[in-house]
Amino acid sequence: MRPVKRNLVRTSCLVTLYQLRAAAADLKTCLVPGCIFVYLYAAVSPVRDFIASSGEKAAPCLFVFLFSDVNLAGPLLAGMLLFAMDAPFYGRDRLFSFLRAGRGAWVAGQALFVPVLAFLYTSFLLLAGTLLLFPGIEFSNRWGKVWTTLAMSDAWAEFGLTIRVTTNILFNYTPAEALAAAFLLVFLVCTFYGFLSWMLNLIVGQAASLVVCLADIVIVARVWYFPEWTRNLVPSAWTDLAAITSGSLKMDLAGAAWRLGAGIVLTAAVSIAVTYRSDIGK
């Protein structure tokens, strides 16, 4: 079958759409978010208890603070890896799109699929963090008494919170700005691990790739006990907006975004080049 000659950008987008449809039919697409939501429900129950006891409403900013808990950040980022671990997605059921689109458009569609997948997964985490606060939530661009009290008192210890609500975020960002910054960081980190998984899958194999990526993600729970320079090698630690704002990571938001962007470009370029020159689809 000869590839259909179409505009490269349009055909690449069609390949990405086809991958999304295939992913939607995968049991993993329902199972992983479901498990993550149940895990989050249990993890943030102290926050809900505090909101209920205070009688106040909270701005929908739980997502901003989720990644301040290093034991919570690892599993959340690992969820993205479960979706990206099969990259490039050239299974038998998706070979049709390769034959129809042609090699160049197919590879470009695969490359576009990774950030789209990261965006959808990050959006899911944002939505889950918002839903878990209902009914004690109000849509406001002010931090309000709930987050201010948790940041400036020992209420977090009384209710057993592992999520850190820090004053440096409250003093340096509005809720909308903090949500946007946290979303950007998580999206970039998820995109980076998606391309890293793809690149390592082709170079060292899927099993070794999964081990390396998971190790780099879950080590976030211990990286704060290592020398400071090691934190520059663990992108999963860069999702903590509080650590960036306080200077614990020795980089600002722009620096973290720039490093993640450079890592994404590098891993994406290697992944695309190796995939394009491989025997996929032959």
Of 16, 21, 23, the closest CA to residue 110 belongs to 16
Model confidence at 219: pLDDT above 50: yes
Question: Is the distance from CB of 73 to CB of 220 less than 8 angstroms?
Answer: yes
Structure tokens at 178: 């903090």
Q: How confident is the model at residue 179 (pLDDT cuts 50, 70, 90)?
A: very high
What is the residue whose two structure tokens read 């069609």? 14
Q: What confidence tens digit (pLDDT) does each residue in 40-75 have?
A: 888 888 888 888 888 888 888 889 888 888 778 888
Residues 99 and 273: their CA atoms lie apart, in Å, by 19
Q: What confidence tens digit (pLDDT) does each residue in 15-34 have?
A: 888 888 888 888 888 888 89
Q: What confidence tens digit (pLDDT) does each residue in 74-103 have?
A: 889 988 988 888 878 766 556 667 777 777
Structure tokens at 5: 């000659």
Question: Is the distance from CB of 121 to CB of 83 less than 8 angstroms?
Answer: yes
Question: Is the distance from CB of 89 to CB of 20 less than 8 angstroms?
Answer: no
Nearest 5°: CA angle at 260, between 30 and 36? 20
Q: What is the pLDDT of residue 15?
A: 83
Q: What confidence tens digit (pLDDT) does each residue in 233-265 have?
A: 788 888 888 888 877 777 788 888 999 999 999
- Burial label for 267, CB within 10 Å (0-12, 13-18, 19+), is buried
Q: How far is CA 192 from the centre of its chain?
A: 9
Model confidence at 224: pLDDT above 80: no
Concatenated DSSP letters of the chain: -PPP---HHHHHHHHHHHHHHHHHTSHHHHHHHHHHHHHHHHHTHHHHHHHHHHT--B-S-HHHHHTTSHHHHHHHHHHHHHHHTT-S---GGGHHHHHHH-HHHHHHHHHHHHHHHHHHHHHHHHHHHHHTTTTSB---SS-HHHHHHHHHSSHHHHTT--S---HHHHHH--HHHHHHHHHHHHHHHHHHHHHHHHHHHHHT-HHHHHHHHHHHHHGGGTGGGS-GGGGGG-GGGGG-HHHHHHTTTS--HHHHHHHHHHHHHHHHHHHHHHHHTS-TT-
Question: Is the distance from CB of 271 to CB of 202 less than 8 angstroms?
Answer: yes
